[in-house]
A and B are shown apart, each in its own frame.
Chain A
Amino acid sequence: MNGGRSPSSPEGFLRWILRAQWACGLLLLALLTGIARAALLASAAAFVAGVILDRARAPREGLRRLTVPLVSIAVAASVADLFLGSQDLLFSVTVLVLGIQSVKFLLPKSSRDGWQLCAISFLEFLASAATTTEIQFAAFAFLYLGLCAGAMWALQIERREEEGEAARPVSPRFAAKLLLFSAASGIIITAILFAATPRIGLGQILRRLGKSEGLTGFSDTISLSDVTGIKTDRRVVARVEFPDPPPGTSPLSLYLKGAVYSRFDGTNWKRSRGFRLRVARAGITYMVEPFRQGVRHSTAEITLEAMDNPVLFAYGNPLMFEGSLGDIWMEEEGNFYLSQSGHSALRYRLYFIHEAQRGRIAVSPREHLELPPGWDDIRALAVRITAEGKSDAERAEMVLRHFRTGYRYTIADPASSIREFLLVKRAGFCEHYATALALLLRASGIPARVAAGYMGGEWSDVGNYLIVRQSDAHAWTEAWIDGRWVTLDATPPLGEQSPFFARTGKVGIYIDWARQRWNKYVVDYSLKMQAEGVSKGWAGLMRARAGVLGAFAPGVDFRVRAGLLAAVILPPLLLAAILRKVLRAGSRGRRPAGTGPREERPPRPYARLLRRMAARGLKASPGTTMEEMLLGASRRKQALAGDASRFIVLYHRDRFGPLPLSHAESREAARLAWRLRREIPRPGAN
């Protein structure tokens, strides 16, 4: 492989594309994954060294002796990484692949080596595809497709050169156009194939490659620790669409619940250690509760970003989940968890009832009424607040009203304990309010617990979905009133007054929209979506059929029939014409040059010139050639003779020559024709 040619030379252009394809695999690993930085650096260094050696045409046959030792080192590094380092099969295999790639970069390369390096680069592309869900992957896919096309083209030429063919340089402009075409049309074909390929996820061999690293924040306990870090974190936790939103409720006021906490030890809330059940599953459908007649349910499509905890977030009272989620577990308290400890980005559809429903699982009153020992002052406060309440609902309302009397929201200077919050400082954040409310309710004899998750978010008008960020993290209270868990929130609604409120700019909203679409239609594209697409398509077809049949019923206006007929006939004809055009784009048809119906016409500048001459009374008589006429006309104005002669030469070459005019010559012909049109005088004029 001759690597020493100038990049500006045509051969060099394709070879640089080939090298770019090799390097693109490394770039993908570096930017989209966290795989083996040291091995990546080594491979990148080997790539640069290989390029320099190739260009210097340095003799390197002696290096081949080092192949076995270097590959052995790569194998050893890979094994060490598997057992002592990352302990991840994908990472270790990637280390091995990078090692082999580094060795091949350094050695002289035949076309066979070129193919092998292309294959390695593709494996790196696969590794990044297996470990990332970032939207940047789409841009890289487009780039990579063009590079693959160019690389394989270069190797094809390389192979023919090795077989003894004297390769003719490929024009860089032609190569660039072809590669751009390959990338653009390749992406379109890829999109069609991607949408049409049935999604069958067997998961029999290896369910998921790589580790999922994502947002943190949920644990088994809640405390009154500093929440500034979370509140200033603008990372997106989830994007939620509401195909059937709860009636009369803004999505901004919905609570996306992660977990509830029932046990309070005076400082921390902890989750209850009750029994847990596996949610009944049929394929991708998980039935939590049977749908109840007469009760309106709502739907939310939640795309959850990668997290390092197994919590499955839900709105209201979940009825059913849909999605590829593995096993889902439900705790006694109503928390939902996935089987694995963390997960990559996942998407699921949730059917839920927004209004509080009667609990299916009996509540253990003792646990939800417990107060830490020695909290009599809190009991006294609760008794004082709820003295006039006759029912649980009234008492709960009184407690809620209590928090509107002199309490203020602060993160900068919160109370250090609940006692201080309720009795002294009356300043804190959502955990203070939720805990205080729950304790006061318990002290009033109402079972209560604390829930944590996210509240509201930012509504995207571009994509009509809710953006839930880490800064929307929230804690609230649930009280057992009239046989159901009712959500109560004592935290004052700050809205745009919140110190952490920040509205996303227009560009940011569009970027987020692109990310949401990417997640929805690519990362989480599923068999169910395909089935829905087919179902909608079929329904549309049936509607169209019914419309057509209806249009031919007696008494229908003729114009309606004609319009429908056109609508039915024209699209297939248009499609057929486009297909024909694409398939025949390489040739002008089977007729020999110069005999096609279109080629009978003279080139456009010449035709326009003749029309102008005819308009000026210079009509061609039978027996007079166009050339004679033009020369005769220009003879009256000697300054035009040179232009006319040159134009005729170009015309003859264009029309009768073996090759079409070059771009520059065509422009020259057009310029000359324009000048002649303007300058040729009328007969008899001076």
Chain B
Amino acid sequence: MKTARSGLRGRIRLPRRLRVTTEGKGFVLLTLGVGVAAINTGNNLLYIALSMNLSLIVLSGILSEWCIRGVTVRVTPASEAFASRESLLAVTCSASGKRFPAMSLTVGLSFGEAVLTARFPEIPAGGRATRVISFTPGRRGALPLLSCVVSTRFPFALFEKSMDAPAQTSILVYPEPSGTGEDGASRAANGGATAAGRQGSAIRGVREHMPADAVRDIHWKASARMGKWMVKERENEAAPVSDVRLPVPCPPGELEPLISRACAFVLRCEKEGRSYRLWVGDRLGVDATAGGGRQRALSLLALVGCDGAMPGNGGQA
């Protein structure tokens, strides 16, 4: 019976939900008291007081609707997300197309078990505001945004009105890096660690900025021209390639530490500018010898399964 009821409630989802706050409960109780007094005494001025309270409740509904209607939410990662490490999310709340400002908004994001909250005191009509919030994902993999709820207590804090905002966002959580990166590499290193890349003086070109890039590598003119951060791509010295292999299929308990070490290895390689190749079983997952393989490698490590299957890549790496 309970399941049926919750199922029905899930299907019939109202566009707005209301929760009575503590102050609201007091207000409602006071209103009921005034109502009882008015009915008992028949005093019309008490009926006015009762009507005033009810009108404030109605006004609260109208103003909160004006406040919340038309608000859109966009959630984007503000940094790379690693399991068990603090990451950043950018929550942008937009009131474009509104004539009434959005006041006292709270955006609640539910990523699985993690529930995040971003507060927006005021978004002017037609404007937008961004809040960067931190969160710590529990495990690697794709983390879909289960729900995005926009709520407000504006104007009187008597009720909290909330609505579901469409925000189709999925965050890819990379594995938690563990170790220094050397021992992970030792599993299948081929050539050892040789300092290379980004150390040369000749500039091959410019490319888009990646989170691990140093500030000194920013190409300011190109950044100004392109309107986004661009960094210098330097000529690499010839360097040996490091291989890291993930032995799949593998029991889950054993695979995760390996993935964590591989992740640390990839990050170290990227930091030091070393070339590397990532093997999943006997298949080449990522060949980063030409550079620019960081995101692909980390994505592969985030999504790879115990049997080597990788969602969105034909089932196999």
- Seen from chain A, the residues whose Cβ lies within 8 Å of a Cβ on chain B are 115, 119, 122, 125-126, 129-130, 132-133, 137, 141, 144-145, 148-149, 152-153, 155-157, 159-160, 165-168, 170, 174, 178, 182, 185-187, 189-191, 193-194, 197, 199-209, 324, 522-525, 582-593, 596, 658-660
Contact of A207 among B23, B30, B41, B67 (CB under 8 A): B41
Most chain B CB atoms below 10 A, which of A129, A165, A197? A129
Contact present for B126 and A156 (CB under 8 Å) = no
Contact present for B48 and A194 (CB under 8 Å) = yes
Contact present for A125 and B49 (CB under 8 Å) = yes
B85 at the interface (CB under 8 A from A): no
Contact of B157 among A130, A156, A588 (CB under 8 A): A156
Contact status of A156 and B98, CB under 8 A, knowing A129-B49, A145-B52: no
Chain B residues, CB < 8 A from A206 = 40-41
Contact status of A160 and B104, CB under 8 A, knowing A126-B37, A199-B47: yes
Contact status of A193 and B51, CB under 8 A, knowing A130-B41, A659-B127: yes
Q: Mark B154-165, 1 if CB is under 8 A from A, else 0.
A: 111110000000
Can you name the residue of chain B whose Cβ is closest to the Cβ of A142?
A: B52
Minimal beta-carbon separation of A590 from chain B (angstroms): 7
B209 at the interface (CB under 8 A from A): no
Contact present for A203 and B41 (CB under 8 Å) = yes
Contact present for A197 and B50 (CB under 8 Å) = yes
Q: In the complex the two chains form, what is the Cα distance from A152 to B154 in whole Å?
A: 9
Question: Which 6 pairs of residues, A with B, have the shortest CB-CB distance?
Answer: A201-B42, A586-B66, A587-B70, A586-B100, A156-B157, A189-B55
What are 6 A-B residue pairs whose CB atoms fall within 8 Å in the complex? A149-B56, A197-B47, A523-B45, A524-B44, A587-B66, A587-B98
Q: Considering the complex, which residues of chain B in the window 13-48 have a beta carbon less than 8 Å from any beta carbon of chain A?
A: 23, 26, 30, 34, 37, 39-48
Q: In the complex the two chains form, what is the Cα distance from A159 to B37 in whole Å?
A: 31
Contact present for B54 and A193 (CB under 8 Å) = yes
Minimal beta-carbon separation of A230 from chain B (angstroms): 30
Chain A residues, CB < 8 A from B43 = 129-130, 208-209
Contact present for B66 and A167 (CB under 8 Å) = no
Contact present for B62 and A587 (CB under 8 Å) = no
Q: Considering the complex, which residues of chain B in the window 43-100 have a beta carbon less than 8 Å from any beta carbon of chain A?
A: 43-52, 54-56, 58-59, 62-63, 65-67, 69-70, 96-100
Contact present for A152 and B155 (CB under 8 Å) = yes
Can you name the residue of chain B whose Cβ is closest to the Cβ of A195?
A: B51
Chain B residues, CB < 8 A from A193 = 50-51, 54-55
Contact present for A593 and B97 (CB under 8 Å) = yes
Contact present for B45 and A190 (CB under 8 Å) = no
Q: In the complex the two chains form, what is the Cα distance from A499 to B99 in whole Å?
A: 65
- Seen from chain B, the residues whose Cβ lies within 8 Å of a Cβ on chain A are 23, 26, 30, 34, 37, 39-52, 54-56, 58-59, 62-63, 65-67, 69-70, 96-101, 103-104, 119, 121-122, 124, 126-128, 153-158
Chain A residues, CB < 8 A from B41 = 130, 201, 203, 206-209
Chain B residues, CB < 8 A from A132 = 45
Contact of A587 among B42, B99, B153 (CB under 8 A): B99
Q: In the complex the two chains form, what is the Cα distance from A204 to B39 in whole Å?
A: 9
Chain B residues, CB < 8 A from A588 = 70, 97-99
Contact of B46 among A129, A144, A187, A593 (CB under 8 A): A129
Contact status of A660 and B126, CB under 8 A, knowing A129-B43, A199-B42: yes
Contact present for A156 and B156 (CB under 8 Å) = yes
Chain A residues, CB < 8 A from B126 = 593, 658-660
Q: In the complex the two chains form, what is the Cα distance from A629 to B235 in whole Å?
A: 50
Minimal beta-carbon separation of B297 from chain A (angstroms): 37
Taking A152-B157, A523-B45 as known contacts, 14 extra A-B pairs with beta carbons closer than 8 A to each other, sorted by chain A number, are A129-B46, A156-B104, A178-B155, A185-B62, A186-B52, A197-B47, A199-B47, A202-B42, A207-B41, A525-B44, A525-B47, A586-B98, A588-B98, A589-B70
Contact present for B67 and A593 (CB under 8 Å) = no
Contact of A119 among B30, B96, B155, B157 (CB under 8 A): B30
Minimal beta-carbon separation of A544 from chain B (angstroms): 29
Can you name the residue of chain A whose Cβ is closest to the Cβ of B68?
A: A586
Minimal beta-carbon separation of A657 from chain B (angstroms): 9
Contact present for A122 and B40 (CB under 8 Å) = no
Q: In the complex the two chains form, what is the Cα distance from A592 to B43 in whole Å?
A: 51
Q: In the complex the two chains form, what is the Cα distance from A187 to B104 in whole Å?
A: 25
Minimal beta-carbon separation of A212 from chain B (angstroms): 12
Minimal beta-carbon separation of A98 from chain B (angstroms): 18
Contact status of A149 and B156, CB under 8 A, knowing A199-B42, A585-B99, A591-B97: yes
Can you name the residue of chain B whose Cβ is closest to the Cβ of A164?
A: B119
Chain B residues, CB < 8 A from A156 = 104, 153-157
Minimal beta-carbon separation of B40 from chain A (angstroms): 5
Contact status of A115 and B56, CB under 8 A, knowing A168-B122, A522-B48, A586-B67: no
Q: In the complex the two chains form, what is the Cα distance from A170 to B121 in whole Å?
A: 9
Contact of B51 among A155, A165, A197, A202 (CB under 8 A): A197
Q: In the complex the two chains form, what is the Cα distance from A181 to B55 in whole Å?
A: 13
Q: In the complex the two chains form, what is the Cα distance from A168 to B119 in whole Å?
A: 11
Chain A residues, CB < 8 A from B34 = 126
Can you name the residue of chain B whose Cβ is closest to the Cβ of A128?
A: B45
Q: In the complex the two chains form, what is the Cα distance from A352 to B189 in whole Å?
A: 115
Minimal beta-carbon separation of B83 from chain A (angstroms): 28
